[in-house]
Amino acid sequence: MRQHPADDGFSLVELIIAMFFLAILSLAVLPLLIGAASSSVANRDQVKATSFATQQLSSLRAGFPLDSATTCSALSAREANAASPVPGPSGSGMTATIDVASCPTSTTAYPVSIDVTIRVFDSSGDELTSLPTQFRVASR
C-alpha cells in the first residue's frame, strides 16, 4: 500500500478560509481607497481654483502697477467692469469675482493700500478659494 506524505498541500477548506480572510481585509481597506480618491478630486479642484485666482491677480497687477498713476477710482472701476463673474478655464465651470474695498474719502489719507479679494466659485456657486491682497494707490 502506498503512503501519502503529511503535507500534500492546502486542502479546500484551508483555501476557502484564506480567501475569506483576504476578503475581510479587502473590505477594511476599501473605504480608505475611496476616501483617498475623493480627496484627490477635491485637491485637484482646489489647485485649479488657486491657479485661476492667481491668474486673475496677475492680470489685475499688470493693469495697476505700483506707481504714482494708480488711482483708487480706477481700481474701483475695474471691479465694476468685472461685476459679472469672470469665466474660468474651458470646461471647469469656475468663475471669479474681484472685490475692491471702498476708497478713503479724505485726500490726506493718500497714498494708501486698498484691500482687494479675488474669489473663485465652482459651477454650483460654492466658494473654492479666496485670494486677499492689497494694492497701493496714489490718489483718489
Residue spans of beta strands (DSSP E) within the chain: 86-87, 95-100, 112-121, 127-137
**Contacts with 87 (C-beta within 8 Å, 6 or more apart), sequence order:** 94, 95
Between CA 48 and CA 133 the distance in angstroms is 19
pLDDT in tens, 114-140: 899 999 998 888 999 999 999 888 887
**Residue for grid cell 494694492:** 135
Q: Which residues pair with 71 in a beta bridge?
A: 139
Instruction: Note the pTM of the prediction, 2 decimals.
Output: 0.69
Angle at 90 between CA 87 and CA 95, to 5 degrees: 25
pLDDT in tens, 8-32: 677 889 999 999 999 999 999 999 9
